[in-house]
Amino acid sequence: MERRDFIRLTGMGTTAFFIRSSVPLFLTSCRYDGMMMNMRGRPVSVIEGYFTTLLSIPQTINGQATLTAQRTAYNIFEGKISQVLGYQYGSILGSSIIVNSGENININFQNNLSETSNIHWHGLLTPANMDGHPEDVAQPGRSLNYNFTVLQRAGMYWYHSHPDGNTAKQVFLGLAGVFIVRDDEEKSLNLPFGEFEIPLVIQDKRIFPDYALDYSPNMGEVMTGYMGPYITVNGVYSPYKDVKTRNYRLRVLNGSNGRIYNLALSNGDFFTIIGADGGLLVSPQTITSLMLGPGERADLIVDFSSYSIGTQLFLVNKTFSAGASQGTQEFKIIKFKVAQNEKDTFTPPGMLSVIKTIPESSAVKTRVFNIFNAGMGGGGNEGMSMRGMHRINNKTYDKNRIDETVQAGSTEIWVFDNSMGDEPHPMHIHAIQFQILDRTGGRNSLISSERGWKDTVMLLPGEKVRVIMTFGQNKGKYVLHCHNLEHEDDGMMLQFEIV
Ligand code: C2O
Ligand code: CU
Ligand code: CU
């Protein structure tokens, strides 16, 4: 990697942090359709490194801990120090939290930033006042206590900051971590564990010439989502991992703001998906690629046993079609070096888990959410308003408005309609895990990861997806939003209340 590449590619930004009040200055120019097209259609090319830096595995902690949001520094690029945000000193991201289902978590969150922050437990079924609602924030220098019982099945969930209008920047700069729940059903499967179970948090980054992370989206990047040319895994750019000739369980989180990955092995080999957002699938599926949108997780088994020592294999992104700003480039994400012989006898069991299908007939209500852009280009935008290029049902998030009221314990079908849209939107609902009924338009079918419990679902341009869920007994206010974090901060979020 040559230094001038960094400078060339990051020369556009001069301030470390995005100043939202500058947005209205861009709005007038955004009204020109030609420019809009141009802004939407610009993919950010990935710069591949040499995969010579060792992958970092986050340390693990249990549910009794303090997480301190702070400015700190980290070696994202080998031999270089980057200014980042983290939940502990000297590290980007936070430790991996591992708890057993049924256990209590008691996390003290200390906000040592100079702006408000909080923690949302993405995918966990928490009481409303523990959920990290965008309005429940700690002021600078203050703390919040998150205390609740983890009552759900094994799976890889995650946590990240979630203050209204400022989530994208804080997550991009480093405020996220994985949250693993174990249970007996999962334990009985004897899946690869210890050094053979590896969380992989995939994120794309952009940097200043001094290597500090650069979050400074322009108008076009609020449209497409903010993407960077440097792909990191667990906070490390261009990493490698030595592996043994056996099975590994790779627990992948797309923790990127806006980038979608179409994961595959560089030699086109098969791998196995055993779980997704809300835990194990009913049975393992053998696949050669998997699309993973921002916020989504995949539980993968990769078998290195047929490779000889010295083989180098990459997890790559394959090209895909998802609107003009995404998917045009194939690139490498992480290198696996087969370094040592070790036999294991593991084969994924034919049955992994029991998932009770929620019958469509049990739904008492269907709600439709239009998620194609209603704000821009339709002539109805709100002039100099700071937000609203992305909307849900033509509405921009308003903390003082409850958009939907649902009954505790009831089952509903929610329809996300991107059939007229030309951008991808990973839609996420707090408070529950849902099942996906169907997808019409676009890909017209469900993919392997979508046949289990989910909390985030990708809608590519032209697609409509129906999900079904049963609300729990935790009453209060939650949000649903696009997990393209620029879209979320732009207001592509609504509030619902469980009563
Ligand atoms: Cu991962 Cu409301 O978000
Ligand atoms: Cu969430
Ligand atoms: Cu979106």
Q: Residue ranges of the domains in the chain?
A: 53-187, 194-340, 360-498
Query: 53-187: which CATH topology?
Result: Immunoglobulin-like (2.60.40)
pLDDT at 449: 98
pLDDT at 36: 46
The answer to whether 53-187 and 194-340 have equal CATH topology is yes
pLDDT at 389: 87
CA of 408 to the centre of ligand 2 (A): 18
pLDDT at 41: 64
Pocket residues for ligand 1 (CB within 6 Å)?
120, 122, 160, 162, 295, 428, 430, 479, 481, 483
pLDDT at 432: 98
Classify burial at 277, counting beta carbons within 10 Å of its beta carbon; exposed 0-12, middle 13-18, buried 19 or more: buried
pLDDT at 155: 98
pLDDT at 35: 44
pLDDT at 11: 32
pLDDT at 30: 43
pLDDT at 387: 81
Question: Which residues have C-beta under 5 Å from ligand 3, the single-atom ion?
Answer: 425, 482, 484, 487
| Residue partners of 208: CB distance under 8 A and separation at least 6 | 10, 13, 16, 214
The answer to whether 372 and 417 have CB atoms below 8 angstroms apart is yes
Domain spanning 194-340, CATH architecture: Sandwich (2.60)
CA dist 302 and 155 (Å) reads 18
pLDDT at 27: 39
CA of 481 to the centre of ligand 3 (A): 8
- Ligand 1 atom closest to the Cα of residue 493 is 2
Mean per-residue pLDDT pooled into runs of 10, the chain (499 residues):
34 34 37 45 91 97 97 97 98 97 98 98 98 98 98 98 98 98 97 98 98 95 95 98 98 98 98 98 98 98 97 98 94 98 94 97 98 57 63 96 98 98 96 98 98 98 98 98 98 98
DSSP class of residue 392? B
Encode 32-62 in three state secondary structure: CHHHHHHHHCCCCCCCCCCCCEECCCCCEEC
| Residue partners of 287: CB distance under 8 A and separation at least 6 | 270, 271, 272, 273, 448
- Total residues belonging to the chain: 499
pLDDT at 24: 35
CA dist 325 and 443 (Å) reads 18
Q: Identify the CATH homologous superfamily for domain 360-498.
A: Cupredoxins -  blue copper proteins (2.60.40.420)
